[in-house]
Structure 1
Amino acid sequence: MQNEARLIHLESGMVIGERYTLVGKLGSGGMGDVYAAEDSKLQGKLRAIKVTDSERASEEARVLMRLNHPNLPHIMDSFTLTDYGAEAIVMDYIHGVTLGELFSRHNRELSFGEVLRLALPICSALVYLHSQFPPIVHRDLKPSNIMVEHNGHVRLIDFGIAKSRTVLQTLTTMKLGTPGFAAPEQHLGRSEVRTDIYGFGALLYYLLSGGSYLNPAERMNQSVGFMRRLRADVPTRFADLLWRMVQPRIEDRYNTMAEVERELHAFAGMGANRDVHVRYPGIQGGNPEGARAMRIAVVPVSSGAGATFVAITLAKLLAAGGIPCAAAEFPSERPEWAALLRSNMRGRDQLEERYYSWNEQGVWWHAQKHPVTEDYRDELDKLRLKLRMKNIAVSVTDVSSGAFTHHKDWLLESDLVLVVADPYPSRWKANQILELEQLSGKLEARGASLKWIANKDAPFSGRSEWLGMMPKRPAAAVPLLPATEWLDVIWRGKWATDTKGLCKPLEKAFKPILDFIGQETQRNAAYVRFGG
């Protein structure tokens, strides 16, 4: 198709627009690539930048610049990438997931009340768009074009094919929209405000039917199939509303989105739905292009337990065993890795605002540059992007420090949490042990694991009692290293795994964990890409 955009591929670390450092790619579509970038003029604040060579890009920027609605993206900047023949649109970065991701994480089951709560802000945004002069028709309403933030706030995104021209106008050579959600007239190259009414109805039907698309044959009459696929908690009157929204003939639908909004508010006013909240899992992991690396978080049961040592050692042993991995420290006010690994940082990436990044013997290391004192959401999303590498099987994060409220989300999204405990239970806190047990139950419920590691193990008289204090039998017991040898290694800028005398007992101690990780990565092999 001659109007389809040619995707422009940019590399992480590149600076564009003289102020935006690319952190990673968020996604791709027919209308361009979207990147996360740090804004150097605002202390590295995260932005989303859409890059495309489509002639519609400048039109999209003009459309967005004059809009102001809480459920639409806010445009910050736009400029031309002359060397690439491309346009860049800079928007605020939305901390959350697409509605499609949220739906999948709930096993395609959202209650009627939850869908209604999501639908109201989407409808409000569409009413606003249609009230512009001339009306703006979105034309591509689908789960991946709706973002749900961590606090439940909803935003309609991607105006790549939005139209702001005369009503019912014939398009050029493109038939726009997404199959399953596109109105019949879009296949003829036409659209108007009632096109969005159809798309919105198709979207709601998809969410309320466990992910079913409309069957064209069933749109001719209100068939049993149309009704049967809807959830049992969908009121009959709401099913009638959906039916009218998705009529094939434009004139048989509601005339305006404002009419639809009034109907939705009538349902929202019902007592049963007044206090419904969307269950947002608070996770954002996963490679946007489909790679599936195992995510491991290492957390101490108390300060000084040795989680940093375990995390770094685990990453080195994984790489030595042929499992490519990435390792990073959790954003905190007291970064340590840059000092601990200083002799291995040759060739590090100096373009990154917050992290030193370099590859050494099969491990991509990410050491924090500067303390993080605020805006943890930005820092966590930057770290997630760094760990979404296509050529790794495992990512290891040292969650030794940082804001505890943010630890919880990170641990919940992990595939394996390793809790490190040392022989000083006087520093353990009962409430933290309880929280870790609760975390273990939540992880197991979704097929993930929590394992305990006994660190600084030695043959002392209270050893059995110490090991018995852990809620689970430790999966590994890491020996207490001889102080003189360990200090000598550290002061030479090396690590314990670099010395044969220390590496051998560590390999033996970590073997149960390494075997478990090896089995899990093999099981996930269909989802992990080991190539570049």
Structure 2
Amino acid sequence: MDHPSKLLIGLTIGGRYEIVRKIGEGGMSHVYLAEDLKLPGKLWAVKESVVDPEHYSSIRDEAKLLISLSHARLPRIVDFFPPDNDGYSYLVMDYIQGITLEKYFNGYRGKVPVDSILQLADQLLEVLGYLHTHDPVIIFRDLKPSNIMLTEQLELRLIDFGIARNYKQEQTQDTVKLGTIGFAAPEQYGSGQSDARSDLYGLGALLLYLSTAGAYSEWSDRVEKYIRPDLPRRLVPVIRKLLQLAPENRYASANEVRKELASAVRQKSVPEARRGKDIAGRTSTQVIAVMGASGGTGTTHTAIAISHFLARSHSKVALVEMNVRSPAFRRIQHIVNGDHVPGGGSRKFEVQGVDYWRQTARADVITLLSGSYNYVVIDLGTYRERERLEEFLRADISVIVASGAEWRQQDVMDMVRSLSRYPQQKWMYFLPLAQTDAVQRLRRQLNTSQVFSLPLHMDPFDQSEEMDRALNRIFQGVLSGVERRRRFRFGLS
């Protein structure tokens, strides 16, 4: 950046944000870490930009754009200081702890794990789908490794909306030609107006870049032989279609691409010795997602009880913690290991035949699904802001844990109502310690028979005959081909 920064360590902006240190810079901006003096300990990212007076509106547009967005994979803007007399303006937004995809890529020397590539692609499509269905439609236009942040759990965040724009249907081409060479679609350089398909081109360029160790980001006849051999081969034609020069020859939407990627993941090659089959010939690893309708319902307790119930039936079970805010699995690991569990320690530990995976990212779950587990039980924590809704909706069995108290059943009703547009046939509702009348009441309200009471089970790690009977009864008809001392298999609903 040619313009010097006005910010210094210790300087306070707006009487509230104290500059701690510089954390990045780009072609048009500096980014600083700042502490909130009104909320001690709270950290924010402050983006300092400088533009000529005739471009003041672009900075205001970026602020207005960010303010209108609300998605877990996008930074949340909390304050804005418009350009001063010298053209310097400041955006205060979420501080995302992690590294850029560029640094992550370099750390692997270009050999990013395939599962991570697939996971990042899915997360990108999730947020692009949100932007492209926003009103008005928003085109990001600059998908590149340095504009993608990754948290410690490999959760993706898009940053730097400096060249994003609203799609204008009456416009035939972009007024300003912007984007990073090698990742931007051809229409961003004057051949037409960028739209949702332009971002899909950028995704294709990024996938090709990651799949060729950084050698290529544009499709040509010779490229395919440089794509790493461990990439699912069904992904190759997807990348090729994403990188078509003419927008009309690409996929029409992020959702369409997401379905293609999901198909590629399902058919990813796995050694036959590690792949169990159920009676219908499907891959036997089945996913049970457990989510609480509200706090204090016993979500983790229930997930543990289900996992050990399945493990006692001679099944290989992984219990995955995807509620990153919860300290539960860390505490369990501390008890099991008998010593302190450092932040960088192993996230996998075993308890009575169940493999526990502490604070697990989606990429790890993909690996578990292609492994030798019969069941993967996911503890999603409490339903808040739909942070883990994708895992809940994708699971083979989706369990909602709710309170049996009449005054708290509105929590589950509100949750179900907010998710009414999604299919709910495979959902089950567990009410720990609920009386029969509470179960019947919720069945009537939800118009489903899939509401069950769970008995008192003080220690979910230990066997309880009463709990075993309850879970056997609940899963009857959902588990197929079950005989005592044989492995359970979930059938698909």
Query: Please, what TM-score do these two structures have when normalized by structure 1?
Result: 0.48
1:418 aligns to what?
none
Cα shift readout 1:135-190 (whole Å, capped 9, x = no counterpart): 10000000011110012211111111000140455333x42000110111111173
Task: Please state whether the residue corresponding to 1:76 is helix, strand or coil.
Answer: strand
2:403 aligns to what?
none
CA positional deviation for 1:64:
1.2
CA positional deviation for 1:267:
2.6
2:26 aligns to what?
29
1:89 aligns to what?
91
Q: Is residue 13 from structure 1 mapped to residue 35 from structure 2 by the alignment?
A: no
1:103 aligns to what?
105
1:149 aligns to what?
151
CA positional deviation for 1:20:
0.6
1:162 partner letter: A
Larger Rg: 1
2:126 partner letter: S
2:256 partner letter: E
1:171 aligns to what?
174
Task: Please state whether the residue corresponding to 2:160 is helix, strand or coil.
Answer: coil
Q: Is residue 405 from structure 1 mapped to residue 342 from structure 2 by the alignment?
A: yes
* Pairing partner for 1:202 from 198, 201, 205: 205
Q: Is residue 75 from structure 1 mapped to residue 82 from structure 2 by the alignment?
A: no
1:77/1:91 contact within 8 Å kept? yes
Task: Please state whether the residue corresponding to 1:11 is helix, strand or coil.
Answer: coil
Task: Please state whether the residue corresponding to 2:166 is helix, strand or coil.
Answer: coil
Q: Is residue 240 from structure 1 mapped to residue 237 from structure 2 by the alignment?
A: yes
| Residues 169, 35 of structure 1: alpha-carbon distance in 2 compared, 3 angstrom cutoff | farther
For 1:65-464, list aligned pairs within 5 A.
65-80=67-82, 82=84, 84-167=86-169, 169-172=172-175, 174-188=176-190, 190-215=193-218, 218=220, 223=221, 225-270=222-267, 405=342
1:111/1:233 contact within 8 Å kept? no
Q: Which has the higher helix share?
A: 1
2:198 partner letter: T
CA positional deviation for 1:44:
3.4
1:37/1:49 contact within 8 Å kept? yes
1:53 aligns to what?
50
2:212/2:226 contact within 8 Å kept? yes
Task: Please state whether the residue corresponding to 1:267 is helix, strand or coil.
Answer: helix
CA positional deviation for 1:85:
2.7
For 1:450-529, list aligned pairs within 5 A.
none
1:64 partner letter: L
1:76 partner letter: V
Unaligned runs of 5+ in 1: 276-374, 376-402, 410-532
Q: Distance in 2 between matches of 1:269 and 1:106?
A: 25
Q: Distance in 2 between matches of 1:272 and 1:213?
A: 24
| Residues 407, 238 of structure 1: alpha-carbon distance in 2 compared, 3 angstrom cutoff | closer
Cα shift readout 1:386-413 (whole Å, capped 9, x = no counterpart): xxxxxxxxxxxxxxxxx9835889xxxx
CA positional deviation for 1:103:
0.8
1:242 partner letter: I
Task: Please state whether the residue corresponding to 2:149 is helix, strand or coil.
Answer: strand
1:144 partner letter: S
Q: Is residue 39 from structure 1 mapped to residue 41 from structure 2 by the alignment?
A: no
Greater CA drift, 163-172 or 120-129: 163-172
Q: Distance in 2 between matches of 1:404 and 1:265?
A: 35
The number of residue pairs the alignment matches comes to 273
Cα shift readout 1:450-481 (whole Å, capped 9, x = no counterpart): xxxxxxxxxxxxxxxxxxxxxxxxxxxxxxxx
1:111/1:208 contact within 8 Å kept? no
2:164 partner letter: A
1:196 partner letter: D
1:186 partner letter: Q
2:174 partner letter: L
| Residues 151, 214 of structure 1: alpha-carbon distance in 2 compared, 3 angstrom cutoff | closer
CA positional deviation for 1:69:
1.1
CA positional deviation for 1:240:
0.2
Cα shift readout 1:231-263 (whole Å, capped 9, x = no counterpart): 101222210000000011111111112211221
Cα shift readout 1:111-152 (whole Å, capped 9, x = no counterpart): 322200111111100010000122100000000111100122
1:137/1:162 contact within 8 Å kept? yes
Q: Distance in 1 between matches of 2:172 and 2:141?
A: 13
| Residues 181, 210 of structure 1: alpha-carbon distance in 2 compared, 3 angstrom cutoff | same
1:68/1:74 contact within 8 Å kept? yes
Cα shift readout 1:42-92 (whole Å, capped 9, x = no counterpart): 103211111113432211111111211111111111122535432211111
| Residues 254, 5 of structure 1: alpha-carbon distance in 2 compared, 3 angstrom cutoff | farther
Unaligned runs of 5+ in 2: 271-282, 286-324, 326-339, 347-493
Q: Distance in 2 between matches of 1:164 and 1:234?
A: 34
CA positional deviation for 1:9:
4.0
CA positional deviation for 1:214:
3.1
1:445 aligns to what?
none
2:445 aligns to what?
none
Identity, % of aligned positions: 40
More relative contact order, 1 or 2 (CA 8 Å, 6+ apart):
1
Q: Distance in 1 between matches of 2:114 and 2:344?
A: 32
Q: Distance in 2 between matches of 1:169 and 1:31?
A: 27
1:262 partner letter: K
Task: Please state whether the residue corresponding to 1:190 is helix, strand or coil.
Answer: coil
